[in-house]
Structure 1
């Protein structure tokens, strides 16, 4: 069992990584876009379905992620490097305002091709806006770094908090969009992008060190 300070550091790192990767606040405009014209009751049902599906996918990879890597013959350090590189790409998109544009295009496609609002709960809200490749990679990466069962349970709690934040963001989408405005949203996105870039570089460095240590063992 790891000490309280190490556990706290692990959970803070996990929360920061997943919060920046999923960006619950940034999902509010996307939610408004794909549920345009819907009543508050319908929007609430769509929000519930989206977070349940998205959260379920993340929990699935939390539980089965390590076994999946083992079945594919992928070492944890190798996945750390790959996951870190993927998160770094997301961070670069955030800093240069490309990620929000891509999310908006995904939302527009969903509106154009889906007449049933319940369909947009699955795509694009649950997948890929909540449980996208970067979020899934982050969950597997963080679970592979968990030193004991308590840490894994803590990570599960962090995922639950992030998913609950997504739900709250959906419910308050109108207020969030009015409160932030375009300029504030842009500044926050870029700051979070820099933070994610630093975290992803740390993941890559840890993976490289682990690979070197394994090669010299």
Structure 2
């Protein structure tokens, strides 16, 4: 459960999400910001739970084995770990073009807040991977609970976005991102090891 929690927390990135949210909603009234944060988190957690529950079924329909997805997902998470460690935009970040589009009038709860900022490629892959490691219904329920907890932490971080930006500053946010990247790199390599250990051509 601890490994699942850290994997999901790092890939979702509540602090990174809060910093981007503060920039995108700087000119919006606080009551509207609260509503926007709630809707974006609800949409994102729904997508994450759907991927966690149905990801295995989709993989089987596509004839993709879980070991193969563990290796692929681990590689994807490792790339995100590198971007976090070296302080460059991650796989779940938004590009400058997406940022400019989000700053135009309109509802940004779905895009870019819910996807790809919160429920991005990294966190969606992580949801499927950690659910695939569950060995019982209790563990599967724990993984779903960890997704909800991470979403709740993200929502709280978004509500306190202005305070976090003032407290951490660019240096503090950079330090948090780099530490998260190192942790995620280790977890990503472990996913790759697990996938290779279960690979048919390596089975003894």
TM-score between both structures, scaled by the size of structure 2: 0.94
36, 44, 58: which one aligns with 2:34: 44
Q: Is the 8 A contact 1:78 1:207 kept in 2?
A: yes
119, 123, 133: which one aligns with 1:131: 119
User: Which residue of structure 2 aligns with residue 72 of structure 1?
Assistant: 62
Q: CA deviation at 1:106?
A: 5.8
Q: Is the 8 A contact 2:48 2:119 kept in 1?
A: yes
Q: Is the 8 A contact 1:169 1:176 kept in 2?
A: yes
Q: CA deviation at 1:215?
A: 5.3
**1:116-169 CA-partner distances (Å, limit 9, x unpaired):** 1xx211111100011111111001011111001000100011001000011101
Q: Is the 8 A contact 1:33 1:107 kept in 2?
A: no
Q: Does 1:167 align with 2:155?
A: yes
Q: Is the 8 A contact 1:53 1:122 kept in 2?
A: yes
1:1-217 correspondence to structure 2 within 5 Å: 11-99=1-89, 103=94, 105=96, 108-112=99-103, 114-116=104-106, 119-212=107-200, 216=203
- Cα distance between partner residues in 2 of 1:41 and 1:69: 41
Give structure 1 stretches of 5+ with no counterpart: 1-10
Give structure 2 stretches of 5+ with no counterpart: none
- Cα distance between partner residues in 2 of 1:168 and 1:110: 25
User: Which residue of structure 2 aligns with residue 4 of structure 1?
Assistant: none
TM-score between both structures, scaled by the size of structure 1: 0.89
Q: CA deviation at 1:33?
A: 1.6
- Cα distance between partner residues in 1 of 2:31 and 2:173: 27
- Cα distance between partner residues in 2 of 1:192 and 1:106: 26
C-alpha RMSD over aligned residues: 1.7
Counting helix residues as a fraction of each chain, which structure ranks higher? 1
Q: Secondary structure at the match of 1:99?
A: coil
